[in-house]
Structure 1
Amino acid sequence: MKIESYGKINLGLDVLYKREDNYHELSTIMQQIDLSDILTIKDIKEGIKLESNHRDVPLDSRNLVYKSWEKIKEKTGINRGVHININKRIPVAAGLAGGSTNAAATLKGLNELWDLKLNEEELRNIAVEIGADVPFCTMGGTALAEGIGEKLTKLKSFKNHQLLLINPGMGISTVEVYKKLRLKGKRTLDTNKIISSIENNDIKTLSDNMINVMEEVVLENNPIIEEIKNDLIKYGSLKPLMSGSGPTVFGFFDDLDKLHYCKDKLEEKYTKGIVVEGKTI
């Protein structure tokens, strides 16, 4: 079977504090986008075999797809082999949940392939043991995620808005970003304003209030992020934001012609990066 594995952006991201279990308490609003990988999943006699068209994708237990296979076997008691080919179109280590969405797609794919009949809640309960973004990727759409990402509140759909993703062609380690975070007492992200903007379908107010507390840390060693943000604004984007732990930056547009103009201009400059035009879904 083939299954599309959609990425995400963070419309706002706050890290509240480090918990006693060493995870971080989050408050983030996530939006699925129509940039996707494609997973091809087939039964084999035993074990797991991973393949990918991207050289940076680990093909062993470091891959969240591998962990999804292990977890679903553990939870259901079913021990079957699987061959999974990962056709990567989402940049690796880019803040777009490429690995997490592959893990979620694997859970959903094996649930169908093995006729497990697990419902959405059961799949999300498995997903939270795999990674913070995996529960959201299992659900999709638009949502407020709290806790370590497992507490999901589905929001009004924010689909069909034009955005541009700019990835400078490098990877950022999420683990390293968390290590360097300076958690402050004063919170800066107003999730209520973000949610209100979504409900009112107001991309201008949404963009003006988008904040990612991870940007400060990432910018210290990667000034290109600020450069990309400035270039997006220069060529017609509303206020842009870095997604997740970066380095991908996105911006919404109130006019499709502006988006195409900006895309053309930035492709000239960021030739080693990846420029993607997408629609939230």
Structure 2
Amino acid sequence: MKKLDIDARGKINLTLDVLFKRLDGYHEVEMIMQTIALKDIISIELLSRRDIVLNTNCKKLPQDESNLAYQAAELMMKEYELDAGVSIDIHKNIPLAAGLAGGSSDAAAVIIGINELFELKIPKDELMTLGERIGADVPFCILGKTAFARGIGEQLTPLKSLSGLSILLVKPPYCISTKEVYNRLDVKNIKIRPDTKAMIDYIEHQDIDKIASGLCNVLEEVTIRLYPELGDIKKRMLEKGALGSVMSGSGPSVFGIFENIRDAKRAADDFAGTDNWIFVTKTE
């Protein structure tokens, strides 16, 4: 095999709780993460020379060592002493810095793709441990589906698959720094926290109404204070029939869960004509 395509799917957070700031500077979190059908396409081709070549259709995406996909390829080459290189082409569909793990998903796809392309036969759990060295969301993006995450997001417990939910995503035309949001978060005075244990039970019983009503992200306290329009987006989604709505990650993407794809598309029409990026998708 000399070339293959890998889907790099985005994620949303059904819950996100921040427990405390750790001595290493990171924050201890508990969250439930969910893969969605929105995806980048990563094409990886074998090179005879030991090199990494990265191209993309997105002008704002770096094509050097600062790109997580590049870092993932470099790590795989060093870790497993590969004697050849790869050309990576990223067809970007997931918006940048949107709280949807686009960069982490690209890195995960490169790790998976190189494992397959070089026939390394490295087990998934080892790839996930390796991915943690790139970023906290990379292990989940390798695992996929529905999972409960702890630590900095790298300690994962798979949950019952929550596939097929109709999702409307709305992202305003700006990016938000995850680091800034966490730095501004007053962990000791968080007003509303998710009931993570209850959400896990709702997922086990596939109770969509309760899942939707249990959506909660403590980072909203920071991000919506900085960008009040995100609260307006949540309100409009609920007015247009969303069963529940919440911000994903540190934002600025907001998503709503709808009863069916038709209702999600109808709600999407209400956001047409704005500067927002709008996408209707499903959980996977």
Deviation at 1:100, TM superposition (A): 0.3
Deviation at 1:14, TM superposition (A): 0.8
Where do residues 124-143 of structure 1 align in structure 2 (5 Å cutoff)? 124-143=128-147
Counterpart secondary structure, 1:2:
strand
1:171 to 164, 169, 175: 175
Where do residues 35-54 of structure 1 align in structure 2 (5 Å cutoff)? 35-44=38-47, 45-54=49-58
CA distance in 2, matches of 1:246, 1:189: 17
Cross-structure match for 1:199: 204
1:275 to 275, 278, 281: 278
Task: Say if 2:255 is the partner of 1:250.
Answer: yes
CA distance in 2, matches of 1:3, 1:99: 14
Q: Tell me the C-alpha RMSD between the 2 structures.
A: 1.4
Cross-structure match for 2:125: 121
Deviation at 1:79, TM superposition (A): 4.2
CA distance in 1, matches of 2:77, 2:28: 28
Residues 164, 275 of structure 1: 8 Å contact kept: yes
Deviation at 1:255, TM superposition (A): 4.0
Deviation at 1:111, TM superposition (A): 0.4
Q: TM-score under structure 1 normalisation?
A: 0.95
CA distance in 2, matches of 1:138, 1:34: 15
Mean CA deviation greater in 146-155 or 257-266? 257-266
Gaps spanning 5+ residues in structure 2: where? none
CA distance in 1, matches of 2:114, 2:207: 38
Aligned CA distance change for structure 1 residues 48 and 232 (closer, same or farther; 3 Å): same
CA distance in 2, matches of 1:258, 1:34: 17
Mean CA deviation greater in 251-260 or 143-152? 251-260
1:184 to 188, 204, 207: 188
Task: Say if 2:34 is the partner of 1:28.
Answer: no
CA distance in 2, matches of 1:185, 1:246: 20
* CA deviations over 1:96-150 (Å, ceiling 9, x no partner): 0000000000000000111111001110110111101000000001000111112
How many positions carry a matched residue from both structures? 279
Mean CA deviation greater in 71-80 or 121-130? 71-80
Mean CA deviation greater in 92-101 or 209-218? 209-218
Task: Say if 2:268 is the partner of 1:263.
Answer: yes
Where do residues 75-114 of structure 1 align in structure 2 (5 Å cutoff)? 75-114=79-118
Residues 171, 253 of structure 2: 8 Å contact kept: yes
Tell me which amino acid in the other structure corresponds to 1:215.
E
Deviation at 1:34, TM superposition (A): 0.2
Deviation at 1:77, TM superposition (A): 2.1
Counterpart secondary structure, 1:267:
coil
Q: TM-score under structure 2 normalisation?
A: 0.95
